[in-house]
Amino acid sequence: MLATRAKRECKRWAKSKQDKKMKQLTVLSHNAFWFQGVPFPTDKPLAPDGELLKRLCAIYREVNPDIICLQEIQDRKTFDMVSEHLGMPGCYCAGTTLPQYGGSVLWHPHVGRQIRDSQGAKLKTQRMWQAVEVDGNNLCLRICNVHLPSARQLGAERAAAQRIAELQDLIRSCEPGLDIIVGDFNEQPGGAASEYLERCGYVNVTTLSGRADVPTNIGAGRGDHIWIKRQMASYVVTYDVAAKQELACGDTGKQYLSDHLPLWITVKYR
């Protein structure tokens, strides 16, 4: 009995030592709503509001992510402003059918590199996706930033079918595979896109964290998601979403900095 207990203690000590050697990487995702603030009634964005951009960047910095994936970046000039403000290089991809629905991935210097995006894909996307590789400190992860179609432009049935088609195309285009997929899916949990990703071997991090009831926008919806390969589930340290009040900004003439909330995941690795 004592020998068995001693073995258990040795295993626990060894695991503790291993955990202390583990490094961590944080990926943040956010639909920035073109840095217009809420309310903003159209999908024809103006130039970004400098004060709102500054405040959102401050929220991103508070999380201290290694990778930032943004949706609704209207043009390269806006990407350059964000990159300069955060001091993080990265890549920009315009929306295909709707150019104003662009995206950006930013990373700490020498951490990431773009490997592919929807501009070079066979399937014409409505918005965009970007795949990047994080390489360094014995780590190699492939991360995708995605913004899938909305029923607002296509109608419910066409949008659902297009989401699946775009997911199929991006996964096929990014062989040998993606480790983490984040972004605005324009679909609530349990939809067709979720079912497809589960069949492809991904798990939604909310099922690992017990936070499936936490909204990701200023209403009650949860159309923003983070998916991770099932075999990496044990690597997840935290999943979190910014509180709605953190984006409140009544002093600017707007109610909120964006209609979506930043969400992020931290994974551990050796």
What rounded mean pLDDT belongs to the chain? Answer: 90
Residue 86 backbone phi and psi in degrees, to 5: -85, -15
pLDDT digit string, tens, across residues 210-259: 888 899 999 989 999 999 999 999 999 999 999 999 999 988 889 999 99
In the predicted structure, residue 144 carries a pLDDT above the cut 60: yes
pLDDT digit string, tens, across residues 253-268: 899 999 999 999 999 9
Separation between Cα atoms, residue 28 and residue 45, nearest integer Å:
23
pTM assigned to the model: 0.90
Domain ranges of the chain: 25-269
Within 10 A of 115 (CB to CB), how many other CB atoms are there? 16
Q: Is-contact 147 199, C-beta < 8 A?
A: no
Confidence of residue 186 (pLDDT cuts 50, 70, 90): very high
Cα dihedral value 41, 68, 57, 126, nearest 10: -20
Amino acid 210: pLDDT: 85
Residues pairing with 132 in the sheet: 114, 143
Separation between Cα atoms, residue 210 and residue 207, nearest integer Å:
6
In the predicted structure, residue 155 carries a pLDDT above the cut 90: no
Mean pLDDT, range 87-96, rounded to an integer? 97
**Which CATH architecture describes the domain 25-269?**
4-Layer Sandwich (3.60)
Amino acid 21: pLDDT: 59
Q: What angle do CA 64, 150, 224 make, to 5 degrees?
A: 25
Mean pLDDT, range 55-64, rounded to an integer? 97
Mean pLDDT, range 35-51, rounded to an integer? 95
Length of the chain counted residue by residue: 270
Amino acid 30: pLDDT: 98
In the predicted structure, residue 8 carries a pLDDT above the cut 50: no
Amino acid 1: pLDDT: 39
In the predicted structure, residue 95 carries a pLDDT above the cut 60: yes
Separation between Cα atoms, residue 75 and residue 132, nearest integer Å:
19
Within 10 A of 195 (CB to CB), how many other CB atoms are there? 11
Amino acid 136: pLDDT: 61
